[in-house]
Amino acid sequence: MLCSHGELVLPDSTSCSPCPGGYYSPEGSSICTQCSSGTFCPVGSSNETVCVAGYYSHAGAASCTICPAGYYCPNASTTFHCPTGTSSKEGSSICLEANSCYDILNKTGTHRSGVYNITTLRSQTTISVYCDMDTEGGGWTVFQRRFDGSVDFYRNFSEYENGFGSASGEYWLGLRTIQEMLSKASHELRIDVESFSGRSGYDVYSNFRLQGPGYTFFVDNRTRSLNMTTQYLLLTGCSYTPYGQNFTTFDRDQDQRNDGNCAVLAKGAWWYNYCESANLNGVYGRVVQGDGIGYFSFNPYDNLRLTKVMFRPSG
């Protein structure tokens, strides 16, 4: 008995049945053959169909599967992890190099916050960063994050230059990397804070940059904020603002105080002036206006439970 293509002869030799999904049978064949990897065979197939670009299949597939985000599928039958420092969106046959969280957002479309690998543009260094992909549409490269006090932030200049902690936990990305990433295009700075009482707020400033070997702090204007006062702005005009200040650590005094080192007084590291109206790298869980973690525009007396400081290209 001769069945039409896409069918097989049943044991009674008098009737035909369609091949099940994942199998095919050419015209005149009495058996169904397993569909090979890289192709798919729906129910009743008479031949194998090759998966389109960005999809893959293993042997015996009734349909192709879309290549997941973070992978690439160059030959329709295998999924490969994107190499470190690159990323892909779902359905990709190639991976693209990303040099910031904003770049990852644009190349993958993901709104999942977490740790990603990026390759910096100038020095071509591949590093892990925490990306905030939720806030205001995402694309923020987080360079400081504190939430449980597990990492000691009272560190020396070299550590603040090179970074410490882990991108998946509490961390400081490093002044060298921050400066390099800010050097191309204009970026906005966003600071998120939350106190132990559960109150939260944020501050956003335009044109954040760090200049020269002292990593001198500059921003242009506050563009939006929540639960912030009009006092203690990060702008010029007061002796506590970080504006125009170099970064000071306990072993590198670049502040405006002649009678001491603000990093030692405040047990932190910051763009101290004479000394500070923000001490986000202070001692976790300690009282503010001493050496605790404070952000005075939020509340000079509020001890902060959460801090997150980040940037992304503006406009």
Count of H helices and E strands in the chain? 4, 23
User: What is d(CA 20, CA 41) in angstroms, rounded to the nearest whole number?
Assistant: 9
Cβ proximity to Ca ion: between 225 and 261 the closer is 261
Cβ proximity to Ca ion: between 72 and 250 the closer is 250
Q: Judge whether 17 and 7 are in contact, CB under 8 Å.
A: yes
Q: Judge whether 247 and 271 are in contact, CB under 8 Å.
A: yes
Cβ proximity to Ca ion: between 251 and 253 the closer is 253
Burial (CB count <10 Å: 0-12, 13-18, 19+), residue 198: exposed
CA 209 to chain CA mean position, Å? 20
- Token representation of residue 74: 């160059």
User: What is d(CA 12, CA 260) in angstroms, rounded to the nearest whole number?
Assistant: 98
Amino acid in position 49: T
Q: Are strands 304-313 and 140-146 parallel, antiparallel or unpaired?
A: antiparallel
Q: How far is the CB of 161 from Ca ion (least distance, A)?
A: 19
Cβ proximity to Ca ion: between 77 and 261 the closer is 261
Q: Judge whether 125 and 118 are in contact, CB under 8 Å.
A: no
Q: How far is the CB of 275 from Ca ion (least distance, A)?
A: 9
Q: How far is the CB of 174 from Ca ion (least distance, A)?
A: 23
Q: How far is the CB of 260 from Ca ion (least distance, A)?
A: 6
Contacting residues toward Ca ion, per CB under 5 A: 253, 255, 257, 261
Q: Judge whether 223 and 188 are in contact, CB under 8 Å.
A: yes
Residue 44, helix vs strand vs coil: coil
Q: How far is the CB of 159 from Ca ion (least distance, A)?
A: 20
Cβ proximity to Ca ion: between 19 and 275 the closer is 275
Q: Please give the residue whose beta carbon sits closest to Ca ion in the complex.
A: 257
Burial (CB count <10 Å: 0-12, 13-18, 19+), residue 90: middle
Q: How far is the CB of 257 from Ca ion (least distance, A)?
A: 4
Cβ proximity to Ca ion: between 266 and 304 the closer is 266
Q: How far is the CB of 265 from Ca ion (least distance, A)?
A: 9
Cβ proximity to Ca ion: between 114 and 260 the closer is 260
In the chain, what is the greatest distance between 2 CA atoms, to the nearest angstrom?
102
